[in-house]
């Protein structure tokens, strides 16, 4: 067993941290409040460093280290999130590098050659598109459907909701890995997963006015007779639900990393403040009601970090050799991380606001921005808080713990 990072991993972590300190921290508030977008120059600089290629093999222009993609992805997002507490840029990036992994593993050669090099250069955005107005938690009940199969393509009709990056994908180029039905009568067993270019004719989008992470759009897509070529399929027809779930595990890892990085930074901000804030004749940190809470938070973040490292490592191992890793262990580990990471992120930011008193309620600290941004991951994205508990329960107790499957009284 070995918990040390390789010299390369260590140097990369340091590099991304320096980048985040120098380039992101000074503009995080502007991203959230003024620009409501991530500046192109920043995306260009990130691409130049190699951030968007970190999970993409060299043959598609990327720079992935085979077998260490997730370890690098998690480290990268963790460090970026420390610098950009609104969460806009970490989320933008984690969607691109997370869903690239699924593309690498499940897209057709033609699609990979078309899409991945453009993700590497930062030109295109790549996201995930599963949630519908009818309910995000109950994914098996989606309605977006291929109303016609022309042989080479599907004609899609339907609607998606709360999708990150609708504007970015439409304006910059790129698209979303999308879940839809190809055999509606079979329910989720008739669902297919495919890349939908945001500019496919017949696609339109609206955006919502969100609570936080204002530099990245959230919105809905409407599909009216949109033709999606079959070359964009991810995995196999009618097996989309499972491919999607595999992608969620990757996404849960990087999402957790974003929450972890933000929380870590909030805690450091709080430590600096409570050390110098003098009340009742001594530093605030000197009161154990404060310091005990902070050491609790720190210890729990450390636990999360370890678990996340394990999860990332498990995914890397399984991508090298599926037979070596129990898929359920990945599922369980990632659900546990994604369950608690946003919860901890929100809590640490909130605690920090408390230590800062009135100052914490102002926009002169980034704590409230972090709280607003991290809250999005408690609510949703790759399964919300409760859904993680459903996964954890099912893993432990079996179908007994699943309300729509287990033995219900009266059935």
Partner 1 sequence: MDIVVCMKQMPDLQQIRIKDRKPILENVPLVWGDLDKNAIEEAALIKEKVGEAKITVVAKGSDKLQQGILEPLAMGADEAVLLTDPAFEGSDSMGTAKVLAKAIEKIGAYDLVILGEGSTDNYSGLVGSALAELLNLPEITYVRELNVENGKVTAVRNMEESFEVVEANLPVVITVAQEINEPRLPKFMAIRKAGAKPRHEWGPADIGLSADEVGENAASVDMLSNLAPEQDRKNIILEGDLDEKIDALVDALIKEGVLGR
Ligand X SMILES: Cc1cc2nc3c(=O)[nH]c(=O)nc-3n(C[C@H](O)[C@H](O)[C@H](O)COP(=O)(O)OP(=O)(O)OC[C@H]3O[C@@H](n4cnc5c(N)ncnc54)[C@H](O)[C@@H]3O)c2cc1C
Residues that bind ligand X (CB under 6 A): 127-131, 135-137, 162-164, 210, 218, 376, 379-381, 383-387, 390, 403
Rounded to whole angstroms, how far apart are CA atoms 171 and 160?
18
The CB-of-155 to partner 1 minimum distance in angstroms stands at 41
Of 25, 63, 245, 287, the one binding partner 1 by CB under 8 A? 63
Of 25, 36, 49, 291, the one binding partner 1 by CB under 8 A? 49
The entry of ligand X, partner 1, none that residue 8 binds, CB within 5 to 8 Å by partner kind: partner 1
The CB-of-19 to partner 1 minimum distance in angstroms stands at 6
Using alpha carbons, select from 254, 232, 256, 229 the residue that is nearest to residue 243.
Answer: 232
Q: E strand or H helix at 322, and its extent?
A: none
Output the CA–CA distances (angstroms, integers) from residue 79 to 93, 144, 253, 392, in the order listed: 12, 36, 14, 28
50 binds partner 1 per the rule CB under 8 A: yes
271 binds partner 1 per the rule CB under 8 A: no
Do the Cβ atoms of 240 and 191 come closer than 8 Å? yes
Structure tokens at 91: 């989320």
Of 28, 53, 262, 345, the one binding partner 1 by CB under 8 A? 53
> Which residue's CB is nearer to partner 1, number 10 or number 225?
10
Q: State the sign of the Cα–Cα–Cα–Cα dihedral 42, 35, 252, 142.
A: negative
Q: E strand or H helix at 83, and its extent?
A: helix 69-83
The CB-of-334 to ligand X minimum distance in angstroms stands at 15
> Which residue's CB is nearer to ligand X, number 229 or number 406?
406
> Which residue's CB is nearer to partner 1, number 78 or number 106?
78
Q: Which residue's Cβ lies closest to ligand X?
A: 136
The CB-of-374 to ligand X minimum distance in angstroms stands at 10
> Which residue's CB is nearer to partner 1, number 22 or number 137?
22
7 binds partner 1 per the rule CB under 8 A: yes
Helices H, strands E: what count in the chain? 12, 9
Q: Does residue 341 sit in helix, strand or coil? A: helix
Rounded to whole angstroms, how far apart are CA atoms 179 and 190?
10
Would you call 215 exposed, middle or buried from its count of C-beta atoms within 10 A (0-12, 13-18, 19+)? buried
Q: Give the binding site for partner 1 (CB under 8 A).
A: 7-8, 10-12, 14-15, 18-19, 48-51, 53-54, 63, 65
């Amino acid at each position: 067993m070995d918990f040390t990072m390789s010299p390369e991993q260590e140097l990369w972590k340091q590099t991304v941290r320096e980048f985040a300190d120098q380039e992101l921290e000074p503009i995080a508030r502007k991203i959230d409040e003024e620009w409501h977008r991530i500046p192109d120059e920043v995306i260009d600089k990130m691409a130049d460093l190699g951030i968007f290629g970190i999970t993409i093999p060299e043959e598609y222009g990327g720079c992935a280290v085979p077998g260490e993609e997730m370890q690098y992805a998690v480290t990268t997002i963790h460090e970026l999130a420390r610098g950009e507490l609104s969460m806009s840029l970490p989320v933008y990036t984690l969607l691109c590098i997370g869903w690239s992994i699924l593309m690498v593993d499940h897209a057709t050669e033609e699609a990979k050659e078309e899409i991945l090099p453009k993700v590497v250069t930062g030109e295109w955005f790549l996201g995930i598109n599963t949630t519908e107005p009818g309910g995000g938690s109950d994914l098996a009940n989606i309605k977006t459907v291929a109303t016609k199969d022309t042989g080479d393509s599907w004609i899609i009709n339907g609607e998606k909701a709360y999708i990150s990056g609708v504007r970015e994908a439409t304006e910059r180029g790129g698209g979303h890995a999308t879940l839809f039905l190809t055999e509606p009568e079979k329910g989720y067993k008739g669902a297919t997963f495919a890349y939908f270019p945001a500019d496919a004719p017949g696609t339109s989008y609206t955006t919502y006015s969100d609570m936080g992470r204002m530099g990245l759009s959230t919105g809905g897509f409407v599909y009216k007779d949109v033709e999606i070529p079959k070359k964009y399929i991810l995995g196999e027809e009618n097996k989309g639900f499972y491919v999607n779930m595999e992608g969620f595990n990757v996404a849960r890892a990087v999402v957790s990393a974003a929450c972890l990085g933000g929380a870590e930074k909030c805690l450091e901000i709080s430590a600096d403040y409570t050390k110098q804030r003098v009340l009742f004749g001594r530093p605030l940190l000197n009161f154990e009601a404060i310091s005990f809470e902070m050491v609790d938070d720190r210890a729990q973040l450390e636990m999360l970090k370890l678990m996340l490292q394990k999860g990332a490592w498990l995914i890397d191992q399984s991508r090298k050799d599926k037979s070596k890793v129990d898929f359920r262990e990945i599922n369980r580990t990632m659900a546990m991380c994604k369950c608690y990471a946003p919860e901890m992120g929100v809590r640490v930011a909130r605690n920090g606001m408390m230590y800062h008193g009135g100052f914490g309620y102002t926009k002169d600290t980034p704590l409230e921005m972090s709280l607003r941004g991290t809250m999005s991951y408690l609510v949703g994205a790759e399964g919300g808080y409760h859904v993680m508990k459903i996964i954890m329960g099912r893993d432990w107790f079996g179908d007994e713990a699943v309300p729509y499957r287990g033995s219900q009284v009266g059935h």
